[in-house]
C-alpha cells in the first residue's frame, strides 16, 4: 500500500503569457531550497521551461523526517560526511573569528575608558593635595592670628585660652 508520501503527485507547468499547460506526474518530491533550484531541476528533467512557470503550491509538501541515504554508496556517504564536517568546521571558525573581533573591539574600548578614568583619578589626587595644603596654610594662619593678635589681617575675637597649644599640623601626604 502506498502512503500519502509515496503517492504520485502532479506538477503543473503554466505559461504566464498564454494558456499553455503541461502536466507532469511525479512519484516522489524532494523539497528544493529555492525557486532557482526548482527551475534548474525542471529544466534538467523536462527541457526548456522558459515559457512555463512552475506552480509549486500544487505539489510540494514539507517532509518531516530526514532523507534516507540508502541510495548512496559508502564512498558517497563518506564524501558527504566530509563535506558536511568541512562546512561545520568553517562555520565554527567564522563564528570564532567574529567573536574574537568583537572581544578585541571591547578590549580597545575598555582600555580607552580605563585611561580616561586614570587621568580623572590623577586630577582628583592633585586637587586633594592642593586643598590639603591650602587647609594647612589657613589653619596655621588662623592660629598665628589668634595667638599673636596681629599680623597682616584683623585679629581674631576669641584668642586661645592660656596654656593652649596650637592645632596639630597635618602630616605631609606623599605624592604618588
State percent of the chain over pLDDT 90.
Answer: 38
Q: What is the pTM of this model?
A: 0.39
Give the integer Cα–Cα distance in Å for 16 and 21.
Answer: 10
- The string of pLDDT tens digits covering residues 70-99 is 777 888 889 989 999 999 999 999 999 999
The pLDDT score that the predictor gives to residue 95 is 97
Confidence at 41, pLDDT banded by 50, 70, 90: low
Question: 68 with 35: CB under 8 angstroms?
Answer: no
Radius of gyration of the chain from Cα atoms? 44
Residue 9 pLDDT > 80: no
- 93-140 pLDDT tens trace: 999 999 999 999 999 999 999 999 999 999 999 999 999 999 999 999
Reduced to 3 states (helix: H, G, I; strand: E, B; else coil), residue 173 is coil
Question: Phi/psi at 54 (nearest 5 deg)?
Answer: -80, 125
87-109 as b/e, with b when 16 or more CB fall inside 10 Å? Answer: eeeeeeeeeeeeeeeeeeeeeee
Question: What is 73-138 written as a DSSP string?
Answer: -HHHHHHHHHHHHHHHHHHHHHHHHHHHHHHHHHHHHHHHHHHHHHHHHHHHHHHHHHHHHHHHHH
Amino acid at each position: 500500500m502506498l502512503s500519502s508520501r509515496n503517492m504520485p503527485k502532479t506538477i503543473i507547468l503554466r505559461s504566464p503569457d498564454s494558456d499553455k499547460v503541461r502536466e507532469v506526474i511525479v512519484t516522489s518530491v524532494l523539497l528544493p531550497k529555492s525557486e532557482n533550484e526548482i527551475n534548474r531541476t525542471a529544466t534538467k528533467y523536462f527541457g526548456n521551461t522558459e515559457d512555463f512557470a512552475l506552480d509549486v503550491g500544487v505539489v510540494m509538501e514539507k517532509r518531516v523526517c530526514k532523507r534516507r541515504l540508502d541510495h548512496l554508496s559508502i564512498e558517497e556517504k563518506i564524501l558527504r560526511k566530509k563535506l558536511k564536517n568541512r562546512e561545520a568546521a568553517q562555520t565554527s571558525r567564522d563564528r570564532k573569528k567574529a567573536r574574537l573581533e568583537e572581544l578585541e573591539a571591547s578590549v580597545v574600548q575598555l582600555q580607552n575608558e580605563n585611561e580616561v578614568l586614570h587621568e580623572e583619578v590623577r586630577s582628583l589626587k592633585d586637587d586633594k593635595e592642593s586643598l590639603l595644603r591650602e587647609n594647612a596654610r589657613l589653619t596655621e594662619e588662623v592660629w598665628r592670628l589668634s595667638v599673636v593678635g596681629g599680623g597682616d589681617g584683623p585679629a581674631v575675637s576669641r584668642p586661645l585660652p592660656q596654656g593652649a597649644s596650637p592645632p596639630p599640623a597635618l602630616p605631609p601626604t606623599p605624592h604618588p
